[in-house]
Amino acid sequence: MQLYPIVLIAVLLLADGGFGFAAAGPRLDPGAAFGVAVGGVLLVLGFAAGGVAWCRYRLVEQRKPTAILTGARIMGVARVVLLVHFALVVLWMGWLQTIRSLTGDLVAVDEIIALLPTVVGVAVTWWLFYPLERRVREALLIRQLDEGRPVFALPARGVWVLTQLRTQLFFLLVPMLLILTLAEVIHAAMRVFDQYAWAVTLGEVGTLVAALMVVIAAPLLSRLVLDVKPLAEGPQRDGLVNVCRRHRVKIREILIWNTHGSMINAAVLGMMGRLRYVLLTDALMESMTPLQVEVVMAHEIGHVRRHHMPWLLVSLLAAITLGMLPLLATRVVLAALGLVEPGPASVTVGAAVGVTAGLFLFGWVSRRFERQADVFAVAHVAAVDGNSSVFSDHAVDTACETLERIASLNSVSATRSSWRHGSIAWRQAYLRSIVGCDPAQLLLDRQILWIKISAALIVVVGVMASAVIA
């Protein structure tokens, strides 16, 4: 679901910029447009409800445990179809423009109304899946008790759905909507100075500054969006704070992320010490040993020490720039020949292809950063053991066991790959390959240095090319 809010906002930005296929799409009056936008969501949810009902029948009456996995896949497909439906009604049927014809171009209001059917539809998919989730929790209860693991009560249906929304959708959607809102406010303010040539440039600079401010302040927003609380004072907190001090990383707070035991995860938020939080889920803290939690903490601190967060932003811009090269090259050639530039529909297709290719490349870079953070955690354990000159067997084994434990607690196969993190098995195999290696001579560090240099150069060239084309 990490890409879901990004795609939602990208579709709105394309429509707001006048791109899409609305000119070739059907001309619908507001009532018909509303019917298509809402009716399409209801149709998808109807099929999803039927699929879940069938899975519940197979689970209860036929005793087929695979029905739970089938139900999860049906819900996943339903969410993808809802996303495709949103893109079609906005870019092809002019859903956003239809809303504006009724409400006017109100700041953020039209975008929120456009998003509402899809967001509600996504929430309903989790509502439908809740009975199967309850069955999973009940089935795992005996095993958790046998293994001496903590047991978390499944929250009420509404609370569980809200938790999924906050964790998987609102976490990214809220700050992105805030950036969109600030951009609209700034552009509206600049219309007063339309007669001045500097107004457009000032508006673009103001939007960039506003976006940067939201990115910096995003950790504060996360405290409002997510259900978090500070980690209580005690030996465990002292140990985790010492990890930060050992590596000279400033943080504002260590937060416990209440997921009702549904997630084993951790994250570091913020690029500035006074606005930086480390998030550790409730299930992670309750289910893992203190040493394993320390390894997870060291991994997150590794992201900070290696400056992964700002470089991920640079890499994302570079990846999208590379993906957009065919479109940029076409525009340069057409401009040089004095021919007509590509129309909005062609630009939309080119942009979609470029962004998709860019995201695949971004995932590749992100997985290398994850490897480097894993290595940082291994180096931390080795240093604590008093052996910082090489990656010891004990340090590597500790990190690999921690990764294995995370996969097991999340009920995820070690070979299952992730877009941004890779598979647990892939990460473990790399760590085992560096046993006995000198941390100062690691090939991975040189590879990532070249990634950073290349990404920075690509962004600079892309900005210069855009300025020339404009």
User: In 10 A of CB 406, how many CB atoms?
Assistant: 21
Q: What are the structure tokens assigned to 82, written together?
A: 């809802």
Question: Is 79 a residue whose pLDDT tops 90?
Answer: yes
Which of 388, 365, 367 lies closest to 376 in space, CA to CA? 388
Which pLDDT value is given to residue 459? 87
Q: What are the structure tokens assigned to 325, written together?
A: 């090269």
**Helix boundaries (H) for 279-343:** 282-287, 290-305, 308-323, 325-337
Query: Per-residue pLDDT averaged across 140-159, rounded?
Result: 79
Buried b (16+ CB within 10 A) or exposed e, 125-140: bbbbbbbbbebbbeee
Query: Per-residue pLDDT averaged across 211-227, rounded?
Result: 88
Answer whether 226's CB lies under 8 Å from 171's CB. yes
Question: Dmax over Cα atoms in the chain, in whole Å?
Answer: 75
Query: What is the average pLDDT score of the chain?
Result: 87
419: three-class secondary structure by DSSP: coil
Burial class (CB in 10 A: 0-12, 13-18, 19+), 272: exposed
Least confident of 15-29, 112-126, 413-427: 15-29
Round to whole Å and give the CA distance between 432 and 371.
Answer: 12
Least confident of 305-309, 349-353, 357-361, 440-444: 349-353
Which pLDDT value is given to residue 276? 93
Query: Per-residue pLDDT averaged across 364-393, rounded?
Result: 93
Rounded to 5°, angle at Cα 217 from 212 and 221: 130
Q: What is the pTM of this model?
A: 0.86
Question: Is 17 a residue whose pLDDT tops 60?
Answer: yes
Round to whole Å and give the CA distance between 107 and 96.
Answer: 13
Which pLDDT value is given to residue 434? 94
Answer whether 340's CB lies under 8 Å from 284's CB. no
- Residue 394: pLDDT band (50, 70, 90) is very high
Question: Is 335 a residue whose pLDDT tops 90?
Answer: no
Answer whether 114's CB lies under 8 Å from 12's CB. yes
Output the CA torsion sign for 76, 82, 86, 89.
Answer: positive
Sheet holding 228-230, edge to edge: 228-230, 253-257, 277-281, 266-269
267: three-class secondary structure by DSSP: strand
Amino acid found at 10: A
Question: Is 386 a residue whose pLDDT tops 80?
Answer: yes
Which pLDDT value is given to residue 336? 63
The DSSP element (H or E) to which 277 belongs, if any, is: strand 277-281
Answer whether 254's CB lies under 8 Å from 301's CB. no
Residue-by-residue DSSP string for 191-257: GGGTTSTHHHHHHHHHHHHHHHHHHHHHHHHHHHHS-EEEPPSSHHHHHHHHHHHHTT---SEEEEE
Residue matched to tokens 């400056």: 307
